[in-house]
Amino acid sequence: MSSTVTETDPSALGSPLTPLQLVGLLCVFFALCLDVGAVMSPAWVTADDQYSRSLWESCWKSPSTETWNCSSILDTDWQVVTLALLLGGGALVLMSFLVALVAVCIGTRRRFYGPVAFMLFSAVLLQTCSLVLYPIKFIEKINLRIYHEFNWGYGLAWGGTIFSFGGGVLYCLNPKNYEEYY
């Protein structure tokens, strides 16, 4: 009997990477990309090529000139809270992605499934609160006399939240049933 472990010995490889966890890792990566895009987006609310609002500033263009005038919008509590909740959720998504990536690289994935799922569901909770708060307070506080719509930046934030939820669900599935198969 030799005390060395061969490459084909399954116990030497750690837990195998299942397709569910690989897709979960991809979901977390997409959520992270969408969250970054949403935070950096200049268009959360737009109105008739004359008004644009991001999480950071509000810009408007007078009909007589072609120049845009911009000002910071972080002067009210609801705007700061919305940004803080969204950034907090994004930070949790980033941490869960890093933990999941490290787990894949070192081969001890099973013990990291729970913490990754918990961080993702916490991010979903924070981001959902910010994405519900934003339109409610925007409509209540901002009086635009022209047609306005929530634009692609707001949609990217919802996309990131949905991908975070999907990744959390995939990391909650029982890995033992699938690891034995692989």
Q: What CATH number did the domain enclosing 163 receive?
A: 1.20.140.150
Q: How many domains does the chain have?
A: 1
171 and 42 in contact (C-beta within 8 Å)? no
How does pLDDT run across 4-23, given as a tens digit for each residue?
A: 444 444 443 455 667 777 88
In a domain, 55, yes or no: no
pLDDT class for 129, splitting at 50, 70, 90?
very high
In a domain, 66, yes or no: no
For residue 125, pLDDT over 50 is answered with yes
Q: What is the mean pLDDT of residues 70-96?
A: 91
In a domain, 159, yes or no: yes
d(CA 12, CA 140): 60
d(CA 41, CA 21): 30
Which of 163, 137, 165, 166 lies closest to 150 in space, CA to CA? 137
* Residue 161 confidence (pLDDT): 96
In a domain, 50, yes or no: no
53 and 137 in contact (C-beta within 8 Å)? no
In a domain, 106, yes or no: yes
In a domain, 81, yes or no: yes
User: Of all helices (H) and strands (E), which one includes residue 61?
Assistant: strand 57-61
Q: What is the mean pLDDT of residues 148-173?
A: 91
For residue 127, pLDDT over 60 is answered with yes
In a domain, 134, yes or no: yes
37 and 90 in contact (C-beta within 8 Å)? no
Burial class (CB in 10 A: 0-12, 13-18, 19+), 49: exposed
Which of 57, 60, 26, 54 lies closest to 39 in space, CA to CA? 54
Half-sphere exposure of 5 (CA within 13 A, CB side): 8
* Residue 42 confidence (pLDDT): 86
Q: Per DSSP, what are the bridge partners of residue 66?
A: none
In a domain, 151, yes or no: yes
Full residue range of the structural domain in which residue 134 is found: 17-45+75-181
Percentage, residues of the chain above pLDDT 90: 37
C-alpha 117 chain-centroid distance: 13
* Token pair of 24 as six digits: 């979960």
Q: What is the pTM assigned to this prediction?
A: 0.81
User: Of all helices (H) and strands (E), which one includes residue 72?
Assistant: strand 68-72
pLDDT class for 146, splitting at 50, 70, 90?
low
pLDDT class for 108, splitting at 50, 70, 90?
low
* Residue 19 confidence (pLDDT): 78
